[in-house]
Amino acid sequence: MPTGREKCPDRPGKGEPSHPAVGTPEPSPAKSGTLSPVLRLPRLAPAVLLVCAALPACGAPERTGATTLRVPADYSTVSDAADAARPGDLILVSPGRYAETVRIKTADVTLRGTDRNAVVIDGEVRRANGVVVSAPGVSIENLTVRNNTLNGVLVTGMSDGGDGLAKGSDGYTKLDPAKFPPLQGFRVSYVTAGNNGLYGIYAFDAQHGVIERNYVSGSADSGIYVGQCRPCGILVQDNVAERNAVGYEGTNASGDMYVLRNRFSGNRVGLTSNSDYQEALVPQSGATVVGNLLTGNAEPASPAQADGGFGIGLGIAGGTDNLVARNRVEGNPAVGIVLGSAVDLPPLRNRLIGNVFGGNGSDVVFAASARAPGTGNCLQDNLLTTTVPGGLPFSCPAPGGTQPSAPVPRMNPPRGLPFPDVAAPPDQPDMPGAGQAPPSSAAGLPGPVDVAAVGVPAADLLAVR
């Protein structure tokens, strides 16, 4: 049976003497019992030599099956381990600060820290990205990424072999998903992403993934971003986002796109779902936003957003056929939920059902532009506490015809903080069994999603985190 450390035929092992050169005299017993010199013949035939030459690492240890690559016990840096990893391997990182950008280009690899709060990939406010995933089936788990000038964790099919070509990663140009097919399968869980200059966790041109149980703060654009996928097949659940410009942003993220049971509180804007011509797959459509807490999104100790949004719980710009249901939307001083246009893209057939509102400047505002008036948007079974400017009907589906709109209440946003100056994340709970659990498969994600089982959250949803 192979042992994983097989040597070439007759190749000496470590510490064994090598064969003498051809023609070297060697004592050999003669028939008379006396010694006589003979020529020693080589024991490696030419055919065997050719076999050895064809092996990838003749005489070196060969790995079979999944392996755990330990940092720093086996590899001094996480990047060294990532370069050595093969499909199915687990890179297990012990506590320490790792000042590097980790690029995972091998499929089906799991990168995991043994201690979420003590395993830190640190950009030192001079490296663009903390972890860049450009291979399918990769899981990133139980560690902290911080102080990157762009992204904490970037998952993308838009890869040039370096930091990637996705928005904000290598200078922005409009990207062609036909040239760069979407990455298939990913998982980001139990990750703390703090004080990053663009996004904390960024999935772009990627499908069939899960972003769950993460904590993101101090992001100068959004804590979690999903962009340019149709159908996405992505589940964003049980995350906490606070002190970001925007807690969650989904741009041109359409079809089988689920945002469930998250706490988006204490940002400038809690959640946005929008269409954007700068990315492919316009317009955005078919997101399911259910059971989230969207409260107190007017945090001055956060990075200022470029367009000045502040005091908004949830915004949809140019989105279509989205379901926003059973969310708790409270304490957002400008507006709880606003539906608007994006350039010439109207909001169409968005349904707001069973949401609970309280303490907002206005609960719901329909603010489609004259250039892109909306139709088919509706409210049903919501608990409202303020008037609803605009002409949305109180039953779904909505009748046809253009719907009257109202201006969005605007606030004078505070200046905000540079992203490195935002308060550091608090310690977060570890992934159970992180040091002993086998590699995590990212195949077949997100699996069945039971939206009907998700109700209106309590006001303290995930407050412990």
Q: What is residue 69's three-state secondary structure?
A: strand
Q: Are strands 25-29 and 35-39 parallel, antiparallel or unpaired?
A: antiparallel
- Residue 377 confidence (pLDDT) above 70: yes
Count of Cβ atoms closer than 10 Å to residue 26 Cβ: 10
Nearest to residue 156, comparing CAs of 93, 193, 119, 103? 103
- With vertex at residue 379, the alpha carbon angle to CA 377 and CA 385, rounded to the nearest 5 degrees, is 135
Name the CA dihedral angle for 364, 366, 367, 368, rounded to a multiple of 10 degrees: 150
So what's the pLDDT on residue 53? 37
Select the CATH number that applies to the domain covering 68-421 from these four: 3.50.50.60, 3.40.50.300, 3.30.420.10, 2.160.20.10: 2.160.20.10
What is the tens place of the pLDDT at every residue in 329-358? 999 999 999 999 999 999 999 999 999 999
So what's the pLDDT on residue 161? 57
- Residue 19 confidence (pLDDT) above 50: no
Tell me the pLDDT band of 305, cut-offs 50, 70 and 90: confident
Tell me the DSSP string of 266-319. SSSEEEEEE--TTSSSPSPB-EEEES-EEE----SSSPPPTT---SEEEEEES-
Q: What is residue 453's three-state secondary structure?
A: helix
Tell me the pLDDT band of 65, cut-offs 50, 70 and 90: confident
* Residue 49 phi, psi dihedral angles, 5° rounding: -60, -40
So what's the pLDDT on residue 410? 80
For residues 168-202, one letter each, b for 16 or more C-beta atoms within 10 angstroms of the residue's C-beta and e for the rest, the string is bbbeeeebebeebebbbbbbbbbbbbbbbbbbbbb
- Residue 408 confidence (pLDDT) above 80: yes
Name the CA dihedral angle for 413, 415, 416, 419, rounded to a multiple of 10 degrees: 130
Q: How many CA atoms lie within 13 A of 79 on its CB side?
A: 13
What is the tens place of the pLDDT at every residue in 172-228? 456 677 888 999 999 999 999 999 999 999 999 999 999 999 999 999 999 999 999
Alpha carbon distance 383, 376 (integer Å): 21
Task: Return the minimum-mean-pLDDT range out of 24-28, 136-140, 360-364.
Answer: 24-28
Domain ranges of the chain: 68-421
Task: Return the minimum-mean-pLDDT range out of 143-152, 182-191, 363-372, 410-419.
Answer: 410-419
Tell me the pLDDT band of 165, cut-offs 50, 70 and 90: low
Nearest to residue 379, comparing CAs of 358, 345, 412, 403? 403
* Residue 353 phi, psi dihedral angles, 5° rounding: -130, 125
Tell me the pLDDT band of 240, cut-offs 50, 70 and 90: very high
- Residue 252 confidence (pLDDT) above 50: yes
- Are 79 and 85 in contact, with CB atoms under 8 Å apart? no
* Residue 80 phi, psi dihedral angles, 5° rounding: -60, -40
- Residue 90 confidence (pLDDT) above 70: yes
Q: How many CA atoms lie within 13 A of 183 on its CB side?
A: 36
Alpha carbon distance 127, 50 (integer Å): 46
Nearest to residue 171, comparing CAs of 130, 218, 123, 128? 128
- The CA distances from residue 317 to 278, 326, 433, in Å, are 14, 20, 41
Alpha carbon distance 143, 427 (integer Å): 11
Q: For residue 267, what are its two tokens? A: 């940002």
The average pLDDT across 247-252 equals 97
Q: What is residue 11's three-state secondary structure?
A: coil
Alpha carbon distance 222, 265 (integer Å): 13
